[in-house]
Structure 1
């Protein structure tokens, strides 16, 4: 009898524990939902931009190592930093794919952007995922990308890199800060893979002025040193 009651009591405890776990999970889910920005994926409703500048030689070496097909930006033209994208951001998190399907992007716009974003696929993808969240129509969004890129001066030492260079992420940040009056370390960060520098990311407000952003630092490169492969043809 005692064992039977003990067994029943144990089952009750387990049942209550499971109920509490489920309730806690539901509460957490509800909390996450409340914490999610109320503007989630509403076009034009965001706090700032991130301009992502990709070090093209790193991208091309990684593509080759993965056995990927030849990419347009990995041909003969000596690309250095290219625009990966201009991304609307919240103070925490970011919107994406704010219109499905995305409004059709005029191919003349695509052609006009190839000097900064050297692949039609990249341009279409950035429009679908990020541009639709800007609240701008296609031409205005890509004009904004061009203005944002024009506002950034690339440090001289990275303009014509003819040999592989080993750098500290902080060193690259400092070079950009020094080359761009008004830019602070709180507004720029470097990303990397296991061995190479991948991108420099810069936070801008909607008027394309530099602004600090904690979100960037959470995704920054944590390695002491990384490599910048040389520019092709360098």
Structure 2
């Protein structure tokens, strides 16, 4: 077997190539993306998983939240931008406060702008207006609001309910996610003009649980 010999400079060059830490990105360019993911979270499940522990006002029974808007996320066909460079001003407290009726809290609205809205290429108000329009175009199945106790059900039942209530959706434009045994979110893929489109491979994360927990509206 032939021995391999390397000069010290070659070895050091190779070492530097492999172990040089990546440069920190400052965020992608705003407005450069392919489609949106509309993320709807079932509020009672989020409260059971973490909201109650945080003392979130979203979990107050007086609020009566069901499917809330988690966010409207700019997406590439593979991957997604976040925390983008933008010349747009951040939202005011009034603007984030006005989103609490469908997002649960103004804090979530602020976070969603900072992480995702900054990548839309829109002003803060324009982004929130578009997110509200997208939320309004999707019919949230009313059957889940009629539950009076926690149930276990296949995640596919939730997907079927969204497809039934929204004939414009296809199976490849909606995915249901789970977390820690609970139904977590319904994620719906939309074009930049909010027409349903197929989700990318990295978005399709269909939950396969047959006995996912589903909490009733409080």
TM superposition score normalised by structure 1: 0.79
CA distance in 1, matches of 2:124, 2:64: 28
| Counterpart secondary structure, 2:33 | coil
Partners of 1:173 and 1:23 lie apart in 2 by 49
Within the alignment, does 1:89 sit opposite 2:75 as a pair?
yes
For 2:92 and 2:17, how far apart are their aligned partners in 1? 49
Q: How does 1:141-220 map to 2 (within 5 A)?
A: 141-215=127-201, 217-220=203-206
Q: Which runs of 5+ in 1 are unaligned?
A: 1-5, 30-39
Give the conservation status (yes or no) of the 8 Å contact 1:189–1:216. Answer: no
Q: Give the corresponding residue for 1:44.
A: 31
Say yes or no: does 1:75 pair with 2:68. no
Conservation of the 8 A alpha-carbon contact between 1:188 and 1:216? no
Q: Quick check: 1:60 aligned with 2:47?
A: yes
Instruction: Tell me how many residue pairs correspond in the alignment.
Output: 211
Please report the RMSD computed on the Cα atoms of aligned residues, expressed in angstroms.
Answer: 3.0
* Contiguous gaps of at least 5 residues in structure 2: none
Question: Contact (CA 8 Å) 1:44, 1:135: kept in 2 or not?
Answer: yes
Regions of 4+ moved over 6 Å: 18-21
Task: Check 1:25–1:222 CA distance in 2 against 1; reply closer, same or farther (3 A cut).
Answer: farther
Does residue 116 of the first structure (1) align with residue 102 of the second (2)?
Answer: yes
Return the index of the structure with the highest Cα Rg: 1
Once the two structures are superposed, the pairs formed by residues 95-110 of structure 1 within 5 Å of their partners are 95-99=81-85, 103-110=89-96
CA distance in 2, matches of 1:197, 1:214: 21
TM-score normalised by the chain length of structure 2 = 0.85
Does the CA-based 8 Å contact 2:35-2:76 persist in structure 1? yes
Q: What is the distance in 2 between the residues matched to 1:161 and 1:149? A: 22
CA contact (8 A) 1:102 1:128 kept: no
- The DSSP-based 3-state class of the residue aligned with 2:70 is strand
Task: Report the structure, 1 or 2, having the larger helix content.
Answer: 1
Tell me: CA distance 1:64–1:92, structure 2 relative to 1, closer, same or farther (3 Å). Answer: closer
Q: Deviation per CA, 1:74-126, whole angstroms, max 9, x where unpaired?
A: 11222111000000000000000003797321222112111101111111100
**Aligned residue runs from structure 1 range 117-136, under 5 A:** 117-136=103-122
- Deviation string for 1:127-183 (max 9, x for gaps)? 000000000001110000110001000112113322212221222111101100110
